[in-house]
A and B are shown apart, each in its own frame.
Chain A
């Protein structure tokens, strides 16, 4: 045995060394990825935070290193900035709510009512548009809701016109973009509920709808929260939907994008707003213990 180990040691020094030193193995594995993620990404985020304290030189209109809280103060004192933050938060929450309301009946039908082939077909149909491309879907929604578009043509015979480009269409478009992220976890969670729970509920005299509220909903809450992390944070950071189907609607991202070349420190300070919202949301979600499911 010793002789074999001696032999391998002499012929494969690196392999035997790594085999005997798991800590070295771990460091070797993590060295490259951590250098990249910390050295490139975390440092960039950190530099962004630093830039948020810098200012624009009024004479050269160039970024000057220094220390000012002016950029952060402007988030709360400039009325347009403040209202944009609140508007964006409400849009993201609205999108999340709409996704939940649509995902639950879909999930119940798919998991507990539909025949197997219908269930599989629906699963494919729900996931397919996820791949179609972000801008493609944005363009499609724009064509659908535009002045001479499909919705107005559809509603014209009953004498009403659809919502022009504005906040409602932004909410619809973002729902359209992120719905599968909510629908799939909710469906999976409902599928995992054993049928005898429904039997028990029925035996105890509950009808179908009370059963949904008292049995199904509490059981799928973790899945809803996991899905909502996606629908919420993706909507929060989006600004192209607002730009193309929002009319004059502005979101946080619009302000960041508008300032990145004109006034990078303001853009940097404003980038901290979605980060703060997302981190707060994740902290709340973590307290419910549903992040382990993701």
Chain B
């Protein structure tokens, strides 16, 4: 075993305490500030009130932004789920020339900085498609989001497929099921949990994405992150943003819980 002196151990605990404080204090300050009565956030908070929660609940703009975010994230999730699963099957079942290139292609949209991906799409839309008389509008956002979400579904499904027993499918085929029947009855139930976890991650990734959205959202359309960004740019009304941010922090616990459950189910081989 590694044996440390008392001093070294205390030093390590101090560093860990510092890391945790560094990670959590800002989030708590933010959450408490959503109850700050003042217009401008500050510390310590002088007086608490639910004023900004009421304002936020009545704001039409937030509801629209939320609707847009959900539509875009659902669209991106569906496309990414299909494309990611197809790629996962191809890469886990076959050895072929260019396999690493395909793998790189899937990872690239997330490996390159968001600003590059965003500018690339924006450039294609406004300098090539629009002059050609094609307005992509709202769909441009979904296309861009789907592209960098593929990797999430791919990673999860690929890892599961790698550990699956291919003989079961052979058996199903031998017993007379076709491609679709085998997939529906034998293959899919085996990677269902991993597929669900991947789709959920894709949804969360799209929901949280800012930079690519800045460049691909059509004028006048806000997603939740875009709305927050706009409010952050004019800090006089910043307190409403704190409410929305607090709701996001609380809601973010849901995918953590669900994905934990799903990946546990995936580990059990369900």
Contact = CB atoms under 8 A, between A and B. Distances in A.
A122 B16 contact: yes
Interface size, B (range): 35 or more
B43 to A, nearest CB: 4
22 contacts: A26-B90, A29-B89, A30-B102, A36-B83, A37-B150, A47-B123, A48-B124, A51-B127, A102-B15, A105-B15, A113-B2, A133-B249, A134-B225, A139-B241, A143-B33, A150-B29, A195-B2, A234-B113, A237-B114, A240-B211, A278-B111, A282-B111
B217 to A, nearest CB: 13
Given A40-B147, A128-B256, 12 more contacts: A30-B102, A33-B87, A37-B109, A41-B117, A44-B123, A129-B27, A136-B30, A139-B30, A140-B26, A238-B113, A257-B214, A260-B123
Contacts of B255: 131
Interface stretch (B49-57, B58-66, B171-179, B190-198): B171-179
Contact of A22 (B13, B20, B94, B115): B94
Contacts of A127: 256
B119 interface: yes
Interface in B86-130: 86-87, 89-90, 93-94, 96, 102, 105-106, 108-109, 111-117, 119-124, 126-128
Nearest to A30: B90
B252 interface: yes
Given A14-B178, A30-B102, A135-B225, A144 B29 contact: yes
A34 B124 contact: no
A26 B20 CA distance: 47
Contacts of B72: none
Interface of B: 1-5, 8-9, 11-13, 15-16, 19-20, 22-27, 29-30, 33, 40-44, 79, 82-84, 86-87, 89-90, 93-94, 96, 102, 105-106, 108-109, 111-117, 119-124, 126-128, 143, 146-147, 150, 173, 176, 178-180, 204, 208-211, 214-215, 225, 228-229, 232, 241-242, 245, 248-249, 252-253, 255-256
B12 A48 contact: no
Contacts of A141: 26
Contact of B2 (A33, A112, A239, A253): A112
A36 B144 CA distance: 11
A131 B176 contact: no
A289 interface: no
Interface string A63-94: 10000000000000000000000000000000
Interface residues of A, number: 92
Given A19-B173, A240-B211, A112 B108 contact: no
Contact of A260 (B27, B79, B113, B122): B122
Contacts of B86: 29-30, 32-33
Contact of B30 (A63, A143, A274): A143
A264 B112 CA distance: 19
A105 B13 CA distance: 9
B44 A153 contact: yes
A140 B245 contact: yes
A64 B83 CA distance: 36
A264 B117 CA distance: 14
Nearest to B249: A132
Contact of B176 (A8, A34, A132, A148): A8
Interface string A141-179: 111101011100100000000000000000010001001
Nearest to A13: B178
B26 A137 contact: yes
B248 A132 contact: yes
Contacts of B113: 233-234, 236-238, 253, 274, 278
A204 interface: no
Nearest to A270: B119
B210 A240 contact: yes
Contact of A132 (B27, B122, B211): B27
Contact of B12 (A12, A109, A268): A109
Contacts of B23: 125-126, 129, 176, 179
Contacts of A43: 124
Most A CB contacts (10 A, CB to CB) among B13, B105, B119, B225 go to B119
Contact of B15 (A25, A106, A252, A253): A106
A114 to B, nearest CB: 9
B89 A148 contact: no
Contacts of B40: 148
Given A15-B178, A30-B90, A135 B229 contact: yes
A87 B225 CA distance: 27
| Best-surrounded residue of A8, A137, A236, A237 (most CB of chain B within 10 A) | A237
Interface centre among B15, B82, B143, B179 (most CB of A within 10 A): B179
Given A14-B178, A51-B127, A136-B249, A144 B111 contact: no
